[in-house]
Structure formats: structure tokens, C-alpha cells
Structure 1
């Protein structure tokens, strides 16, 4: 097997050489600056449904994307081909686009002196030696455990196993070249339950850098079945204002909205309700949001950002106060601020949490709504107004009473952030945002 056929660390020297070739071609054709990302990926995906194999797919993708500059004019192009002719043609296409683009005083690479030096080793590559036959067996086991868990499970909506690996190399004309190999494996199960003519659907899953570290197929299937059956008998509730508890798998979305609102792109476009929020007390004083991009085997870990700057640990919220925006080089220049090495996003956001688990928070809320499902995209990032379809469970006297569906929860994110009562210890580890369940003092629940 040649180096170009390998998807793993062994392929990185070959991809780095390709990056150098592309950068050299861009210089030859007259680009004043250039950056390029080359990647190769492959994966196995298996889906079973109703105890039958539905799909077994093997994919392999490769290619590169290039952004080059002609003075302050920018052009980008990409291709899935990798030969010399493809390089020449793609560079020429990007250069032609740049020559027809408008000048932008903020365009260009990050300053050469800011390029990352020593890159952290983050242990992201753990290939899983699983055959198609073994992947089918695991998926079938997962689904069968769901069927066996409860007689009210009437149908399956798909159980999927995936195992992917890939390599990426980024380089620019400042001489920076950064690379990494990574893996990502997952197993998910979606089931349908039926009782008295009502049907409900729910799921469970796990994801990990290491396939062997995934939760067992049986446990994922059983959890999917339990969650699905628990929704049977769901009904609406009268419109009211009550405490709302977001389950951990949904709570990260609240902090994701915060990150979007303080991202440079939305700020310089004046499309965010948090424009000018640096230094403002937005959350309770006990709450902080910290980025830790160097977590070993972290699902969102990275040693450099999309501009070639070294990532580093930092707070975005400290003691409830907004202390940093989320900036790449371009958005930072637009706002007159330095980059926070977040071109491409935030890597591993850690949310302050208490020692209380979800059951303790349910007891603490007394009466209200536990939200386990959200629907729709009802967020106005300009105003902060929030309105989403929701499902979950009604709480009375600190205990779950019955499942709830067809309600809408509404509020404004400023109020919701300020009224966070507690964040639970049941951290969601399968996400870029590590948060526990979030209890909010009061929201409008609109039902029947």
C-alpha cells in the first residue's frame, strides 16, 4: 500500500508535500499570499432496520481547498482531484476570482509572527479494526436489545454504526504547515413505541475517538427503548410561566447560542443582540465558560485554528461577565480586536457545574417542565428572542408526573442567561460543549 492510499499519520508527509506544491504553484502564478487545506478521509457506515441490513457503505474522499490573495482581493476554489494539472487549474480559478473581487482592506493572512510554533499532540487518532460483518453484528445487537427491552417497542427507525478516519494538513505562504490525523466512531439507535393508537419516537447514541470506548451496543439500544416508551401518553399542558429544566443533551444549545451571538461575524455585521457586550454581566456570578482546546482525545480538540494560530485555553465568560468574543483574524480586524485563535469555531467549551445531578435539579425546581426535545429554529439572534417547540416531562412536587408534547417554550436569551439557577453535574461528554442540565428560573410554556 502506497503512502497516498493510507488514511492515517503515515499519509501526512505526502499531504504536506502536496500543500507545498500548491503553495509553490500559487506563487508561480502571481498570488501575493495563499493558504490551502488538503484532506483525505475514509469511513465505514452501516445501518440496520427491522432486523434487516439496510445499507453498508464505504466512502473515501480527498481533495483540497485554496484561498489566495492578489493584493487585497481574495479568491477561493476547491477540487476533489489532486494531480499537477488539477493543482494548476484550481490555482488559476482562484486567482481569476480574486482578480474580479472587490478590494477588502481587512483581507489577508494572519500576521506571520502569530503563526503557531510547537503544536500540541492531542491523541486524536485511534482507528477501529472493525469489519463490515462485525459492524452489522453490533448494529443488529443494538436494535435487538431495544426490541427486547419493552413490548411496546413496535418498530425501528434505524440503527447506525459509523467508523471514520481522516488526515488534514493546512499551510500558508508564511511558511506555516500544521497537520493532524483523527478518528471518530459512533453508534446510534432510533426506535418507535406504540400504545393505544399513539406512537412516539426517540433515540440514544454514543460517539468517541476510540471505537472500543463506545458504550455497549446493548446499553445504547436499551436506553433508546426506555426513552421512547417514556414518551407514551404525552399530552399538552395549559399555558403558564414556570421553571424550565433543559436536559444535558439539549443544554449545550443554549451556550451555543451565546457563542454565535459573540462570534465576530455576527458582531461586525451588527446581527447580534450581544453587540458591545464585552464587560457586561450576562450570567450569574458563579457561572463561567472556558475553552480548553487541548483536551486529549477531545471530540473538538485542535492545536491550531483555521488561520494557523495556536489555540489556547481561555474564558469567554468569567464570573458571569463576558470577557472575550469569538474571533478569527478577519473578524478581529473588522472589529479592531486581536484574533482569539477561533477561526473555525470554539474547541471544547466547559461550563461551570454544581454537584447536583438531574434528579436533584428536578426536586429543586418543584414544579415545571423538563425539556428533552426541541423543534424548530425559533431564535432571533438580533433581538435574542427565543421560541421553540418542545417536548419532555411535567414536574410536580419534585417528581416526574407525565410526558409532555406539543408545547412551545419562549423567553429572551438575556433573561434566560441571567435566570440560570443551576447547571447539573450530568455533563454531556459527546458534544463540543460540556454542560450538564440547565435549570432556568422562569419561562413561558405555551400549551393548550
Structure 2
């Protein structure tokens, strides 16, 4: 084993030293330079984790993973080639770079191929408190997953079956560098507990779930609470009915509302815009939401799941508005799509960073009272979203609401509309913000949509 291999070995306590991984990235870039590349970029990922699933009290799966990988892209002028390897030895580095160079020599020129601008590289890496490894062994992970499932199964005799409880713990280190002289990286962690159970009553069966996820284990909900919530959500769906076809206001619960804004992000993503395959083409500077809507990125929130000091091209991230006073202020661009559009990168190579939708109203209960009569959606099915036209049609389940109170569960219905109209006619955004992802929003109340049922 070489000295480099020893430095890169995972140990029981966590990840390799970032400086050792930076040396590997520097070696890749040096090799690309020797091979004649006019520019190059490389990334090394080091990951380790544990995942365990318990079902009906028995261990169903137990997985450890310890992975590492190298990706390199070289440029010969405007010709581009990429290659990857899981072997980080000097010989493998030379072979991987050579493979990327061979590919580049056969590709066509692309006027937008190249690195992100040198002046946009991150000058410093702020500590965003993203790395909190969990020193948990398999026995303890199994115990916690079992506690979670037991809490769900013991909640009510109508809980008749289980799809299991899962505990997962992950730690990773990514280092990126390019021939501008930029090399940077940082470790991160992600831990989660989830549970899904099945309830039965009068011959009808229903399932639901709950989960918690965080950078640090102390920020997770207790496993008992996750299990109880999963059971409560499942039990309240018993006795579900169908609805007749109608027009009615719709309230998306917070955990589903993020999907609406993911569709918004897709519509203003550079790749869809330069291909002219978005229903929000040429809307920059135009109102796309009501004037009370504020959507912005907060990439430097400590411990947040979407936080990052720089994007996957090394471009420094910064807070910015995407929508202010309902007006579209900016797109979601990496350097390639920005070039295609004649614009500048927005630091979004790899996605958005803590896209935050400011609340305009109270919690979900307050929004139910504001809606008075309509549908609360708690589950969506299918992929019926057309980003080109904005047409939206998805299977749904939830609760019918009268006088601001849940009346009965409903299922086997379809919620349909057009995203352009849904965004423009948005009524309110709740304060019950779901922070379990890169999009942070509360429940969203929409003007009447078509509910297709019996």
C-alpha cells in the first residue's frame, strides 16, 4: 500500500483528511496539463455509511458502504471529454485522464464548453457546520429502528402490518478542483429515520409514513415520535371515500408543497430555457406569482440540508432572490446554460441551495380555516407534470374540508390544472415550514382546481 493509499483510507471515526484528497485532485489536474489539455476539472468523492431496516421486529436489511470515486473532464479548446474511476492510484489517475483526453479528441467543438469563469471561483470556504458524523454501530442502529417500528405498531390494534422502519447514517467528503487554480472541499453528513405502516378496518387497508432527516443526530426527531406520527397518519386515512368531480380550492401540505416549487425551478432551469422547453420562457422581469410571494436562496444556513459554500463548478454561492414581489428576478443557471443564454452563471451547478419560500399566513390549521371548504392533499402519485406546457395532473389522496375542519379522508382522485395559473393564483403560504430538503416551504393554498373523481 502506498503512502497516498494509507492517507485515503477510511477509518472507523470518519472520513479521510481533506488535504490528502486535495492532493489527489491536484495530481489529476497536473496529469491533464501534461497530456496537453488546455483546461481541466476534477472531483473526488469519498463516502461511508450504514443503513438498517427492521420489519415486523426482524432485521430485513443491513448495509454498509464505503465508496470513493474520481471524475475528470478535460478541454482541448472547445472539445470536451470526461472519464471516471473508483481507483485513485497514480496509475489509475493516468489512465483515467488519458481516457478523457481520447474522448475529447473525437468530440465536436462546442462554443460553450469550458470551465466556469475564474473570477467567480469561491475565494474562501465558510464553515457551515455540515459535518456531524454519528458513531453508531449496527446493533444500536437496529435497536433504534426497532424502537421506531414498535412505537408505530403499538399505537393502535388497527395497525396490522408494517413496511418497516429504516435508520440511515451517511458521511461524505467531496473535493473539486480546476485549472483556474481552485481546489476546495468540505465534509458533510446526513442521518435519517423513517417508518411506514399499514392499518386495516372493515376490510379496507391504508398505508402512510413519516421520516426525519438532519445533518446532526441531535436534530432528528426521536424514533418513537417518528413511529407514532407514521401510525397516526395511517390511521386517519381509514374510511377513505371518493369524491365527485368538482372545482374546489386545494391546500398542499408542506411536505408536498415543495414539489410545486421543484416544478418552478425546473421551469427556470437553464437547460430547459435554452432548449425552449419551459412554460416560463421569456418571463424574466415578469410577474409569475402574486405580489406577496418572495422566493430566495439561502445557501449559507448552518446545518441546513441544502447549504453549500460553492457549487459543483467551484462558483461561490450567495444569497439571492429568484422571485420578489411576485416578479421573476433570476434563473437557475450553471456556466454552460448561462453561456447558451448569453448570461452569467448563478452558482447553481448541481441544483438550488435552500430555496426558501417566505410564509404569508399562519400554520396549516390557519390555512384550513382560510380555505373553509376544499381539499387538503397529503399524498400525490404519478408524474403528470409537463414543464413545456405547464399542464399538471396527478393522482392524489387527502382529506375533504368543511368549515375549516377535516371531515373525512378521500382517495382515488386527480388534481388537475396548469402551473402558470396555479402559481399566478396562489392564495397563501403557511408558516409550517418543512426543512427536510433543499426547498423550504410551508403548506400552500391554491385557488380552485379541477378534482376528477366519480
The normalised TM-score by structure 2 is: 0.97
Tell me whether 1:256 sits opposite 2:253 in the alignment. no
Shift of 1:405: 0.5
> Which residue pairs with 2:317 in the alignment?
311
Tell me whether 1:104 sits opposite 2:145 in the alignment. no
DSSP-derived class of the 2:20 partner: helix
Q: Which moved more, 1:53-62 or 1:239-248?
A: 53-62
Tell me if structure 1 keeps the 8 A contact 2:201–2:238: yes
Shift of 1:32: 1.1
1:348 is aligned, of 327, 334, 354, to: 354
Between the aligned partners of 1:375 and 1:289, the Cα distance in structure 2 is: 26
Tell me if structure 2 keeps the 8 A contact 1:419–1:442: no
1:6 is aligned, of 4, 10, 14, to: 10
Tell me whether 1:332 sits opposite 2:338 in the alignment. yes
Aligned ranges for residues 117-128 of structure 1 at < 5 Å?
117-128=123-134
Tell me if structure 1 keeps the 8 A contact 2:53–2:166: yes
Between the aligned partners of 2:420 and 2:119, the Cα distance in structure 1 is: 38
Shift of 1:370: 0.3
Shift of 1:110: 1.5
DSSP-derived class of the 1:109 partner: coil
Between the aligned partners of 1:331 and 1:101, the Cα distance in structure 2 is: 19
Deviations 1:247-298 (A, max 9, x none): 0000011111111100000000111011101011010101110100000011
Shift of 1:114: 2.1
DSSP-derived class of the 1:249 partner: helix
Tell me if structure 1 keeps the 8 A contact 2:21–2:44: yes
Between the aligned partners of 1:163 and 1:301, the Cα distance in structure 2 is: 18
> Which residue pairs with 2:404 in the alignment?
398
Shift of 1:397: 1.7
Between the aligned partners of 2:70 and 2:412, the Cα distance in structure 1 is: 45
Tell me if structure 1 keeps the 8 A contact 2:15–2:47: no
Unaligned runs of 5+ in 2: none
Tell me whether 1:375 sits opposite 2:400 in the alignment. no
> Which residue pairs with 2:430 in the alignment?
424
Deviations 1:4-58 (A, max 9, x none): 1236565201100000000011111111110000011000101000110111111
1:302 is aligned, of 308, 333, 336, to: 308
2:217 is aligned, of 205, 211, 217, to: 211
Tell me if structure 2 keeps the 8 A contact 1:128–1:212: no
> Which residue pairs with 1:52 in the alignment?
58
The normalised TM-score by structure 1 is: 0.98
DSSP-derived class of the 1:303 partner: coil
Tell me if structure 2 keeps the 8 A contact 1:268–1:335: yes
2:329 is aligned, of 312, 323, 339, to: 323
Aligned ranges for residues 43-442 of structure 1 at < 5 Å?
43-442=49-448
Deviations 1:161-195 (A, max 9, x none): 00110111000011000100000000000101111
Tell me if structure 1 keeps the 8 A contact 2:15–2:172: no
Between the aligned partners of 2:331 and 2:354, the Cα distance in structure 1 is: 15
Tell me if structure 1 keeps the 8 A contact 2:361–2:367: no
Between the aligned partners of 2:218 and 2:135, the Cα distance in structure 1 is: 10
DSSP-derived class of the 1:373 partner: strand
Between the aligned partners of 1:352 and 1:19, the Cα distance in structure 2 is: 39
Shift of 1:115: 1.5
DSSP-derived class of the 1:149 partner: coil
Between the aligned partners of 2:328 and 2:423, the Cα distance in structure 1 is: 12
Unaligned runs of 5+ in 1: none
Tell me if structure 2 keeps the 8 A contact 1:428–1:434: yes
Between the aligned partners of 1:64 and 1:10, the Cα distance in structure 2 is: 15
DSSP-derived class of the 1:308 partner: coil
Tell me if structure 1 keeps the 8 A contact 2:288–2:423: yes
Between the aligned partners of 1:187 and 1:115, the Cα distance in structure 2 is: 36
1:36 is aligned, of 32, 42, 62, to: 42
Shift of 1:431: 1.5
